[in-house]
Structure 1
Amino acid sequence: MANQLDSELMIPNEEIGNTLDESVFATLLRDLKRIGTKLKQVLIFRGDKDNLRDWDLWGPLFLCLLLSVILSHGAPENQSSLVFALIFFIIWIGSGIVTINALLLGGNISFFQTVCVLGYCIFPLNIASIISLIFNNIVVKFIFAGIGFIWSIISSISFISPFIPTNKKVLAIYPVFLFFLSLSSIILTL
């Protein structure tokens, strides 16, 4: 229980002190730098794993909205709002279900930390969806959706698996696989 609270309440060294008197621009710049650092961690997936312990939901919200907008733009006109809502729903409810599953399996991780990690790990799928929208070819879609899928899986597993008991890792990782597979399959179909 103490480790879970530690991971939820971790405060980076740069933020110690009073930030109430800083300008809005300074706050936004600080948050954008943190989002950029976390995206870099997802792309290299071998960096400082403690960086993603300091969870936030701004980056995952932005990435979720970006993926929803891109895929709804590629959908037929009469289905674009449905696709937007579906992607938004899959990302937030799906990451919540994956997180609850990990917690029920005895994982020592906070709810928002896991949602944050899964939200940042959709970044490769964002890149794949942009490329698929530009090059509307099934072969290109298949290649880049596959690369994005594999990259997302590897990134999320490298951050989540240390918190799951060894004998239950497969049970915790399988829903992560299904989560990213569902998003990748939507990229392929649009």
Structure 2
Amino acid sequence: MGADYGTLDEPVTETIMRDVRMVGNKMMCVLNPRKANIQTLKDWDLWGPLILCLMLATLLSWFAPYEQKSLVFASVFVIVWCGAAVVTVNALLLGGNISFFQSVCVLGYCIFPLNIASFMGELVPPNRKALAVYPLFLFYTAIGWLILIAAKRS
């Protein structure tokens, strides 16, 4: 920030670009956690998780039957946010030292790969959708299993 004005005085375009860069940095932290800067994730925001949740809900409701579009959108939205809250409260009750919104922020950014997976599932013909989704299920199950094994050792 080269100018000598505060955030209340800065131009709207500069504020939006700063927030867009912040969201992009956090997505990169989720995609490549080994190179993630922990301070980036400690500076929580809810814009990125909201955008990613809306993208997932919109994408899944887009391909739902007409009479179920609203239900699918609302269900995805509620499951993502309530699920993140439940997981966060559970971690806090187990003695975790992370703030509520920081945890919700990280969990929200972690649905970014699911957005990509959902989009990829829609690119295949309907009669082969299970064949496209099954490897994704195995992929995320294997990663979850590796995390459980690593957590058990520490």
Structure of larger gyration radius: 2
When residues 134 and 109 of structure 1 are mapped into structure 2, their CA distance, relative to the original with a 3 A threshold, is same
Superposition deviation, residue 142 in structure 1: 1.9
Equivalent residue in structure 2 for 1:140, among 132, 144, 154? 132
TM-score normalised by L of structure 1 = 0.68
Equivalent residue in structure 1 for 2:9, among 21, 24, 36? 21
When residues 22 and 30 of structure 1 are mapped into structure 2, their CA distance, relative to the original with a 3 A threshold, is same
User: d(CA) in 1 for partners of 2:114 and 2:138?
Assistant: 9
Equivalences for residues 106-125 of structure 1 within 5 A: 106-125=95-114
Superposition deviation, residue 146 in structure 1: 4.1
Amino acid at match of 1:56: D
Amino acid at match of 2:118: S
Superposition deviation, residue 145 in structure 1: 4.6
Matched, 1:126 2:115: yes
**Match in the other structure for 1:85:** 74
Identity of aligned residues (%): 50
Amino acid at match of 1:63: L
User: d(CA) in 2 for partners of 1:148 and 1:131?
Assistant: 15
User: d(CA) in 1 for partners of 2:11 and 2:134?
Assistant: 45
**Match in the other structure for 2:60:** 71
Residue deviations 1:8-66 (CA, integer Å, cap 9, x gap): xxxxx99xx72111111111111000000000010011121221110000000000000
Q: Aligned residues, how many?
A: 142
Unaligned runs of 5+ in 2: none
Moved more, 110-119 or 41-50: 41-50
When residues 100 and 109 of structure 1 are mapped into structure 2, their CA distance, relative to the original with a 3 A threshold, is same
User: d(CA) in 2 for partners of 1:61 and 1:149?
Assistant: 25
User: d(CA) in 2 for partners of 1:145 and 1:122?
Assistant: 14
TM-score normalised by L of structure 2 = 0.83
Unaligned runs of 5+ in 1: 1-12, 158-168, 171-190
When residues 149 and 56 of structure 1 are mapped into structure 2, their CA distance, relative to the original with a 3 A threshold, is farther
